[in-house]
Structure 1
Amino acid sequence: MDVEVPTRTIVEALVGLDGTVDAGELYEVAAELGMSDQQVRLCVKRLVGEGKFTVEGRGRRAVLRMTPHALRAVEPDVEFLEFMYRQDAGQVTWDGKWHLVAFAVPESQRHARDALRDAIVRLGGAALHGGLYVSPHEWEDLVEGEAAQLGVLPAVTFLSSADLRVGAEVSAARLAARLWPLDEIAARHERLAEVARVRLRRLREGASRVDLLRIAVEVAAEFTRAVEPDPLLPPALLPQPWVGAHARALVASCWAELAARSDRLPALFTVYGETVVP
């Protein structure tokens, strides 16, 4: 199964612990993924123009150096990864409490209102009504931080309740199925599971360093595609067995195999390997 990987994702994924990318290795991995040298050159030029990288040298002998600000922006969220896998392993249980956020930001601050809504959805919130969102997780600090940064915190209300009813529906699991697109979330993880299963088999058969990097980039790209829109609902709210937990376990096995076969992984995969334990 092929994985669509944007050129910029390859560049960012190959950043080492010292913040650099070996251009020769970048071109090799990109070629393995079906990309031309011209595509890579144009991408690097854009990244340099955006202030995310500087370049030392020319062509395949060059070294790309990520700027400190850009490096912080692409660092994996270790707490998020740890929470995800602890919940999958049954080490985090839901207390049955729903956490709600309501906001009434005036039209004069429309940009901030839209940005807050986007942030709430990105954090896994589901809309109950206009301006009212819910999550099963304790997300108050995260939402408060976003609202404060946007300058609209006084317009935000926080509350929690163990008693949530939408219409006549009171079942927590059925409410979750109604509020979040579980079929779409499951479909993305089914694809992730298949990608990880195929790459895990290839890893166990043996691979060159360039092959290892290609596999790592493909798995990381598909993992991001599946996980970023996932609200990470507690198992009590999901159909069981849940394909998301299965897919992420396969990804963890891939990280373990990669770590066992390379002592010089890029920073992104080093963090994954140290954080995620099969």
Structure 2
Amino acid sequence: MTHFPSGGSARPPRAYAVPVTSVDVAAGPTAESGPEPRTQSLMLTFFGAHVLGQPIAVSSGSVIAALGRLGSTEEAVRTTLNRMVKRDLLERRRQGRKTYFGLTPHAVQVLTDGRDRIWRTGAVNRDWDGRWTMVGFSLPEAWSRERHDLRSRLIWAGFGPLQNGLWVAPARVDVREMVAGLGLEPYLRVFRAEVESPTDVREVLEQAFDVPAIGARYRAFLERWDRTDPLPATVSGDELAGQLLLHTDWLDLVRRDPHLPAEHLPGDWPAAQAETVFRGLASRWERPAARAAARLLDTLTLD
């Protein structure tokens, strides 16, 4: 039976056109033969690595030069810059004939979250307390947009669909914060729970999440980056290009990984090895990439 709060099924107010939990940053490739990451994914990586935390804006020419190292065309970069302004991820500043772009508070939140997922959360969950967050919901059939937005938030927060209208995450999740701005709180039912016999944790994980696909993405990352022969041709001898592509690839992985408990995953789970490879390359390229960016960047100090 479907239950709606009193007041009928009037649509909730529209949230951000681009929720903070789904900013199209999971568009990177997982294998060298695949397409290059979308320009916006690379651009977010660039701003996260070389602008986040500094009171600066960078010229469009700087961004074009940086992303050009990875094959992005000037037209693609300019189009993406304009789109990101419209999506409240960048703000435009003009000085003379030059145009500069700085981060909005919304973008700072997105990029800070990505940084935390990379460096604080990590790829391996060894500290699970055995408890789940469960979210049940039922929305009017006509609310396809609201359903899409809610599912995007759930996936971002590490939930998987256990059955129709019931999603689970093996972690404590602040659901109120997760759905902020969607106006769907009256349609949700949130619980904290533990699995009891005869239900098996691994069976729940396999039903709610595509465990083989998650593992395959980590193995594809290793195939691309854990090698002694030359790395992808687009980054050969170019530490800045290498840093941008590596971080974009890795962020694609961790944003799509629901951070499942390690003790209930296959013994050959590749996330730990992939994280070691990522951290090693990131450390190797950090300083030379920063020097290359410093030579390249034309910046404007913000008040």
**Residue in structure 2 matching 1:218, options 245, 254, 257:** 245
Query: Structure 2: how far apart are the matches of 1:46 and 1:75?
Result: 17
Deviation at 1:151, TM superposition (A): 2.5
Deviation at 1:132, TM superposition (A): 1.0
Which protein has the bigger helix share? 1
**Residue in structure 1 matching 2:64, options 9, 27, 43:** 27
**Residue in structure 2 matching 1:246, options 260, 264, 273:** 273
Q: Which residue of 2 aligns with 1:6?
A: 38
What are the ranges of 5 or more consecutive residues in structure 1 without an aligned counterpart?
Answer: 268-278
For residues 227-254 of structure 1, the C-alpha deviation after alignment (integer angstroms, 9 at most, x for no partner) is 2221110101211231122112211112
Query: Structure 2: how far apart are the matches of 1:144 and 1:42?
Result: 35
57 and 11 in structure 1: CA distance in 2 versus 1, 3 angstrom threshold: farther
Structure-to-structure mapping, 1:107-256, within 5 angstroms: 107=141, 111-139=145-173, 141=174, 143-147=175-179, 149-164=181-196, 170-198=199-227, 211-256=238-283
For residues 2-57 of structure 1, the C-alpha deviation after alignment (integer angstroms, 9 at most, x for no partner) is 66122233333333233433544433333332233333344344445656342546
Structure-to-structure mapping, 1:52-91, within 5 angstroms: 52-54=90-92, 56=94, 62=98, 64-69=100-105, 71-77=107-113, 78-85=115-122, 88=124
Deviation at 1:199, TM superposition (A): 9.3
What are the ranges of 5 or more consecutive residues in structure 2 without an aligned counterpart?
Answer: 1-31, 295-303
The worse-fitting range, judged by mean Cα deviation, of 184-193 and 21-30 is 21-30
Give the number of equivalent residue pairs.
Answer: 253
Aligned residues of 1:102 and 1:131 also touching (Cα < 8 A)? yes
Deviation at 1:149, TM superposition (A): 3.0
Aligned residues of 1:127 and 1:134 also touching (Cα < 8 A)? yes
Name the SS of the counterpart of 2:279 in structure 1: helix
Query: Structure 2: how far apart are the matches of 1:200 and 1:19?
Result: 38
**Residue in structure 1 matching 2:127, options 70, 88, 93:** 93
Percent sequence identity over matched residues? 21
Letter in 2 for 1:215: G
Name the SS of the counterpart of 2:257 in structure 1: coil
The structure showing larger relative contact order (alpha-carbon pairs under 8 Å, at least 6 residues apart) is 2
35 and 112 in structure 1: CA distance in 2 versus 1, 3 angstrom threshold: closer
41 and 122 in structure 1: CA distance in 2 versus 1, 3 angstrom threshold: closer
Q: Which residue of 1 aligns with 2:24?
A: none
